[in-house]
Amino acid sequence: MLKANSEKRQARNGLPLKAKWRRDWQMVLLMIPGVVFLLVFFYLPVLGNVVAFQDFQPFLGIMHSEWNGLQNFVNLYANPDFWDALRNTLVLAGVQLLLFFPVPIGLALIVDSLVSNRFRRWFQTIAYLPHFLSWVLVVTLFQQSLGGAGFVNNLLRQAGLDPIPFMTNPDTFPLLVVAQLIWKDAGWAMIIFLAALTTVDVSLYEAAAADGAGRWRRLWHITLPSLRTVIVLLLILRIGDILSVGFEQFILQRDSVGSGAAEVLDTFTYYAGVVGGDWSSGAAAGLAKGVVGALLLWGANSLAHRLGEPGIFQKRGAS
């Protein structure tokens, strides 16, 4: 039995453990700092989620706070603000997925088709620099140009026209949010697609061109299929993360458009938990969000497998 097992393992890995260790020990060593980082800052704090099942009081601590079972989740279920926040989150995530996700792909295709190397590098740099600005700066920039007392509206006023409430209209808030997101992050997200594009075999294009395929046909039959794996991978990651639409961007603009439009799960958690002192409700909302996110991630990945894509992780031997 034992022998059969070890044989099986050997067959699966190809090499005995000892040989693998000899081959990979430097790699394992290099991984340690990363693993420790993940453990300390991601996995250990996960344990703190127990406060979701307590009536947590910071002055009593986790050890002495009272347990109250699922009461926090029941309260959450009954709280209309939570559902509003969830609805806003989903709407915003949907709009982001629809309007933001394709932009970096398009950008990458444009940059890739640029002939001048110098211009290309210049464009790339300009496109991804805003990623390094904080949300405070980005929102301020938008405020200064599109806000009620901003550049555009002051111009309109001087021209005797009515100002346009770009920043304060709750109905168009999702569009504003996506516009900010595109301005800030599309260039950054483009990089990964650009990298994928460099792996496309140039001879494919040459062969297709020789066969008389035009620009669009080459794009459709060669470029996009080569990007498909990356696109699906990023799409799955995005779906797993769909309930995290951002925090600072919303907390900064919450007063301008009202909580009805700008309260998302993360700001709800902050206001209920940290500011309102109801830490347990906040933790419960956060935990619920995490569980749903994990399920979505798993679901999207399974779907990708079913469509014949590798997805983000695979069952051994699946590929």
Partner 1 sequence: MISRRRFLQVTGAAIATSTLAACGDGGAGGGGAKASGELTLPTYKPFEGLHPDFPGAESGLEPGFLKFPADAVSSVKAPPLKSAVTALTETFATPPPPMGSNPMWQALNSALGGELRLTIGTDPGYPEKFATLLASDSLPDLMWLPPNQGIPNVGPMLEAKFQDLTKYLSGDAVLEYPNLAALKPASWRTAVVNGKIWGAPIPSTPFGQVMMGNPKTWAKVGGLQCTTADEFFAKCKELTNGTNYALEPAIINMLHMFGEWFGAPNGWRVNQDRSLTHLYETDNYKAAVEYAAKLWAAKVFYPDLNLADATPKTVNGQIAAQVVVGPRATADFRTLDPTLFVDTMIPFGHDGKAKPVYDMGYGTVGFTPFKKTDEGRIRELLALMDYLSAPFGTKEYLVKNFGVEGQQYQLDAQKNPVLTKAGQQQAPGLVSALQIMNSPESVIFNPANPDDTRKIYETEQKLLKFAMRNPTAGTYSDTSSKVGPKLTAAFRDTIVDIVTGRQKMDAYDAALKRWKSGGGDKMRGEFAAVLPSSVPVTGS
Cβ-based nearer residue to partner 1, 218 or 254: 254
Cα–Cα distance measured from residue 235 to residue 101, given in angstroms and rounded to the nearest whole number: 8
Helix (H, G, I), strand (E, B) or coil at 34: helix
Q: How far is the CB of 267 from partner 1 (least distance, A)?
A: 12
Cβ-based nearer residue to partner 1, 153 or 223: 153
Phi, psi dihedral angles at 168 (to 5 degrees) = -120, 0
Among 225, 277, 294, 302, binds partner 1 (CB under 8 A): 277
Among 88, 153, 267, 269, binds partner 1 (CB under 8 A): 153
Among 178, 245, 257, 265, binds partner 1 (CB under 8 A): 257
Among 68, 91, 170, 208, binds partner 1 (CB under 8 A): 170
By the rule CB under 8 A, 158 interacts with partner 1: yes
Helix (H, G, I), strand (E, B) or coil at 112: helix
By the rule CB under 8 A, 147 interacts with partner 1: yes
Q: How far is the CB of 203 from partner 1 (least distance, A)?
A: 55
By the rule CB under 8 A, 274 interacts with partner 1: yes
Cα–Cα distance measured from residue 207 to residue 220, given in angstroms and rounded to the nearest whole number: 15
Size of the site for partner 1 (CB under 8 A): 34
By the rule CB under 8 A, 106 interacts with partner 1: no
Cα–Cα distance measured from residue 130 to residue 142, given in angstroms and rounded to the nearest whole number: 13
Cβ-based nearer residue to partner 1, 107 or 262: 262
Q: How far is the CB of 169 from partner 1 (least distance, A)?
A: 9
The one-letter amino acid at 81: D
Which bin fits 233, alpha (ψ -120 to 50), beta or left (φ > 0)? alpha
Among 52, 178, 189, 272, binds partner 1 (CB under 8 A): 272
Cα–Cα distance measured from residue 238 to residue 104, given in angstroms and rounded to the nearest whole number: 14
Cβ-based nearer residue to partner 1, 64 or 121: 64
Cα–Cα distance measured from residue 176 to residue 174, given in angstroms and rounded to the nearest whole number: 5
Cα–Cα distance measured from residue 23 to residue 5, given in angstroms and rounded to the nearest whole number: 22
What's the full length of the chain, in residues?
319
Q: What residues numbered 13-72 form the site for partner 1, per CB under 8 A?
A: 57-61
By the rule CB under 8 A, 156 interacts with partner 1: no
Q: Kind and range of the H or E element at 262?
A: helix 259-262
Structure tokens at 141: 């920039």
By the rule CB under 8 A, 132 interacts with partner 1: no
By the rule CB under 8 A, 168 interacts with partner 1: yes
Between the two ends of the chain, the Cα-to-Cα distance in Å is 29
Q: Which stretch binds partner 1 (CB under 8 A): 22-30, 146-154, 239-247, 305-313?
A: 146-154
CA dihedral of 299, 105, 253, 57, whole degrees rounded to 10: 30
Residues that bind partner 1 (CB under 8 A): 57-61, 81, 143, 147-150, 153-154, 157-158, 163, 168, 170, 252-253, 255-260, 271-272, 274-279
